[in-house]
Amino acid sequence: MKAIPLILATVVAVNAIPPALFNIRPRIMTQTSFISKITNKVNAVDTCKICVDVSGQIINQVLNIILNVGVIGSCSKLCTMVEQKTGSQIIGVVCDIGCDFLGIDEFVKLIQKADLDPIYYCEIVKMCAVNDHGDAHITKFSITPVSGPQGPRTIDLTYVSKNGTGTGEMVLVIHTVDGIPVETGFLNEPAPAGTYPNVFNLKAQPDPDCDPTQQVCEQWLPGDYTMRIDLCNGECGSKHPHSKLYDTRNITFTITK
């Protein structure tokens, strides 16, 4: 078995880790640049987060290789091709760890499941912890200012867990006046029983980098907006094992002229 922390620590030093993907399911990551999470948690080597961050690319690349080249006979050859196609050593290492753990046949069979999501993948290859007896109850969900012109807003979320939480996801969804979806997901790593405050920043103003010739751009028109938070074990909406909705809440805010 590979010394995972040592290998990943070496690779992280020379590779920038991309933001969380969650891009296997099309509902996630629409107009995500408006919402960011503030966190004080810093782990030098966080194998679960690294796995979730890159597993979407691993899944997509392995599927493309199987489609274009066929099934490769060994983990080393397959993951070397994944590394070469992505240009990322960290992706190659995480691919190799998962493939070696499962064996090439089971690894390919798992990847070929069309509905595979990154959290479930990382749980299967033992890089993310599982807690099927976890819970979380949202005790605070608010936005400041509740009413005002376009501009930055602060979202406060606090939840309480009696039994701890498993590897999961927080999803923020905003129903906008013009119907353009604003939605993003954040990895919520396993935690023991306790109270957990979270703070998010919302840029409730048009993105100057959004090109209307290439995509639909949210304009944050005056009116009432509804925002929902889903707190989940596993990926929100997933039908895989170790997945369920812990709690959900809705709030409204208003953008004035």
CATH number of domain containing 195? 2.60.40.10
pLDDT in tens, 59-91: 999 999 988 888 788 999 999 999 999 999 999
Contact 200, 216 (CB under 8 A): no
Q: Is residue 57 part of a domain?
A: no
DSSP assigned state of 33 = G
Q: What share of the chain is helix, strand, coil (3-state, %, to 5)?
A: 30, 30, 40
Q: Is residue 195 part of a domain?
A: yes
In whole angstroms, what is the distance from residue 211 CA to residue 203 CA?
A: 17
CA torsion sign for 111, 116, 119, 123 is: negative
Q: Is residue 49 part of a domain?
A: no
Classify 252 as helix, strand or coil.
strand
Q: Is residue 201 part of a domain?
A: yes
pLDDT at position 136 is 98
User: Which candidate, 92, 93, 79, places its Cα nearest to that of 7?
Assistant: 93
Q: Is residue 198 part of a domain?
A: yes
Q: Is residue 8 part of a domain?
A: no
Q: Is residue 130 part of a domain?
A: no
pLDDT at position 23 is 32
Number of domains in the chain: 1
| Tokens, residue 116 | 């595979």
Q: Domain range for residue 193?
A: 137-255
pLDDT band at 46 (very low <50, low <70, confident <90, very high): confident
Q: Is residue 234 part of a domain?
A: yes
The number of C-alpha atoms within 13 Å of 146 and in the hemisphere containing its C-beta is: 4
As to burial, measured by CB atoms within 10 angstroms (0-12 exposed, 13-18 middle, 19+ buried), residue 229 is buried
What pairing do the DSSP bridges indicate for beta strands 194-204 and 168-175?
A: unpaired
What pairing do the DSSP bridges indicate for beta strands 151-161 and 137-144?
A: antiparallel
For 33-37, 129-133, 151-155, 203-207, which range has the lowest pLDDT when averaged over its residues? Answer: 33-37
pLDDT in tens, 85-128: 999 999 999 999 999 999 999 999 888 875 678 999 999 999 99
pLDDT at position 111 is 87
